[in-house]
Amino acid sequence: METSNKYKILIVDNNPTYLKVLEFQLREIIGVCIDRLDEAYNGLHAIEMIREQPYDIAFMDIDMPVLDGIDTARFFKLNHPQTRVVGLSLYTNSEYMNEMLEAGAKDFIVKDTLDELTLTKIFTALDEDMEGIKNMNLL
């Protein structure tokens, strides 16, 4: 993937195996473009982390203990709108997807369909967001 951006990435999922799988995929596909890659194990942990460190993108599971991805996405939308939230789930239920998108996620991925093309599209959209923010700051 070609970009001059360096990304601050947060992965939010209570499944340690999936955290490692997604981290591996991200490092394989956009490795040199990663500035920071952190993990949170539930929504509350993610909120604590984003209060300390801004992130460009957060990959967020829907179904987590303590605070789920939908409520966490709402918090991010209200308090950290510059962070692009990508909803994740094993479920293909469109109700979950719609709830996550309404809460503020920009994208939604069924976990076992995540591939290089999907990640490339997500980071291309993130680049466009980042460019728009830079242009707004120049005005």
pLDDT digit string, tens, across residues 53-104:
999 999 999 999 999 999 999 999 999 999 999 999 988 878 888 999 999 9
Q: Tell me the one-letter amino acid at 75.
A: F
Q: Rounded to whole angstroms, how far apart are CA atoms 90 and 23?
A: 17
Residue 133: CB atoms within 10 Å: 12
Q: Rounded to whole angstroms, how far apart are CA atoms 3 and 15?
A: 30
Share above pLDDT 90 across residues of the chain, in percent, rounded to a whole number: 63
Q: Tell me the one-letter amino acid at 43.
A: G
Mean pLDDT throughout 5-34?
Answer: 91
Q: Tell me the one-letter amino acid at 123.
A: F
Write out the two tokens for 107: 């994208």
- Rounded to the nearest 5 degrees, what angle is found at the Cα of 42, between the Cα atoms of 37 and 48? 70
Burial of 80 (0-12, 13-18, 19+ CB in 10 A): middle
Higher pLDDT, 135 or 70: 70
pTM of the model: 0.90
Q: Which domains does the chain have, with CATH numbers?
A: 7-138 (3.40.50.2300)
